[in-house]
Amino acid sequence: MVPHLVTCDDDPAADRRELESLAVWADCLSPVVHIEGDDTLIADVTGCERLFKGEANLLARAVAGLKDQGFSSRGAVADTPGAAWAIAHAHPEPAVVAEPGQTAAELAPLPVWSLRIGPETTAALASVGVETIAALLYLPRSSLTSRFGEELLDRIDQALGNLPEPLIPYRPLPVVARRFDIGGATSRLDVLTEGVRRALERFCKELERRVAGVRQMFVTFNCPDVMTEAGTRARRVTLDVSMSQPTRCARHLFSLVVVVVLDRLELPAPADSVTLWARDTETLDGWQDELFSTGFKDRRELSDLLDRLAVRLGPEVVVSPQFISEHQPELAFRYVSLVGANKTSPTRPRISKISTRAYPRGQQFAPAPRPLRLLPRPVEIAATALVPEGPPIALRLNGTQHTVVNAVGPERIETGWWRGPHVRRDYYRVTTQAGRHAWVFRERDTNKWFLHGWFD
């Protein structure tokens, strides 16, 4: 219906990292920058306005700085954090400087939700006809707590300055970073690669000094302020490199970075410097050659191979299967990334709820063996059984008839009623006359037979 509509995947973690980076940038406005919620920065600019020749200039500088970084924003300067939040979010104007001592007058026409109260309290106030802060302030304070809770009074007092609201400054975790100045803006790939190599040498020496290694490293190319065709300022381009194991080997890291630079680098303008940095480090003792073979070198070589594959193919495809608590065979695993920050973010299975396994009364069975090769989806086959609920005596696979000489089972698997579509199966491990071992099941609801895997 809307062909030109652009959609983007929601990534709350990335949004939070971006907001934190903006909080670091906002240190140029105030030494106290507090992160409020998912999309708001509150800065204590008391005394800072003198450096900007007034509060209006300070606010204009903040809005312009965010616009240069590609963000639209709304801002306000007021006597209290609560008042500034309310005006910035609900005032008709996108940038407002409230006069000192006029907080109540500025807040009066704004909706009550701008006091940062919950939706239930907002709905309760609307049900009695209170939709603006002015109407709320006319109500007797003695009745507010009993009818709408203590949070409402606290938010009113914080906005008016009758209750202190301390701001907790955001302080980023210390990062390891090393920068190399190229000496002039350039787009030549060989020059940029050499700049990366020299910055990487300094970066790894710092890691060695800290006896640490990194699983994820960022390479930032810093571009001078220029106007692009879109009219925005191009400042930096950042690429990330992920590893399966913590490392500080400059040779290995350089081999990964070169692939990233060659395949993914697109600079909006020539770069004049390159910065290598990492948010998180892990303790990494040094190693030496072993007198006897311990396999440690082989493990390092495997890790290096995984890193190279992840750089070329993407970390989301370099994965390892992990078992989960699920009896339905095709859903009993999930894929977990082996590389970098995604290592702890497993790919979710299609269904992850628990199912039940039913056996005849009074019998207990150990979990039956699973086939070495499990088909992605069961394949319907033709089967012959002597009795409707008995084991198969013959199978027809790909147009060929196979005689069953042995069948072990049934292993009954049933999913819980809360799972939605009910799965009820009787599995058999059958041996054909040709010596092949297949894993087949009969669907109890339809009496159809399916092949699900091979043991050989």
Choose among 437, 445, 438, 385: nearest CA to 413: 445
Rounded to whole angstroms, the Cα distance separating 89 from 421 reads 46
User: Would you say 334 and 322 are in contact if contact means Cβ atoms under 8 Å apart?
Assistant: yes
Helix (DSSP H) and strand (DSSP E) numbers for the chain? 11, 17
Predicted local confidence at residue 298, as pLDDT: 57
Cis before 421? omega within 30: no
Residue entry with tokens 């920068």? 179
State which amino acid sits at residue 194. E
Residue 111 in 3-state DSSP? strand
What is the C-alpha separation between 150 and 138, in angstroms, rounded?
Answer: 17
Strands (DSSP E) contained in 10-164 are 33-36, 40-43, 75-77, 95-97
Task: Report how far residue 33's alpha carbon sits from residue 41's, in angstroms, rounded to the nearest whole number.
Answer: 7
Question: Each residue's pLDDT tens digit in the chain (456 positions)?
Answer: 888 888 888 888 888 888 988 998 999 899 999 999 889 999 999 988 888 889 999 999 999 999 988 899 999 999 999 999 999 999 999 999 998 888 889 999 999 999 999 888 899 889 888 899 998 888 888 788 778 888 888 999 999 988 888 899 988 777 788 888 888 888 888 888 888 889 988 988 888 888 888 888 888 888 876 554 544 455 778 888 887 778 888 888 888 888 776 667 788 888 888 888 888 888 877 654 444 444 455 566 777 677 777 777 777 777 877 777 777 887 777 887 777 654 544 443 333 333 333 334 434 444 567 888 888 888 888 888 888 888 888 888 888 888 888 888 888 888 776 666 778 889 999 998 888 888 989 988 888 999 888 887
178-312 sits in which CATH class? alpha beta
Tell me where in the chain the CATH 3.30.1490.100 domain(s) lie: 178-312
Which letter does DSSP use for residue 439 in this model?
E
Tell me, what amino acid is at 142?
S
Q: Given the structure tokens 């930032």, which residue do they identify?
A: 220
pLDDT at position 41: 93
Which of the 8 DSSP states describes residue 153? H
Residue 256: predicted pLDDT: 82
The b/e string for 312-332 (b: 16+ C-beta within 10 A; e otherwise) is eeebeebbeeeeeebbbbbbb
- At 353, is the secondary structure helix, strand, or coil? coil
Per DSSP, the three-state class of 286 is coil
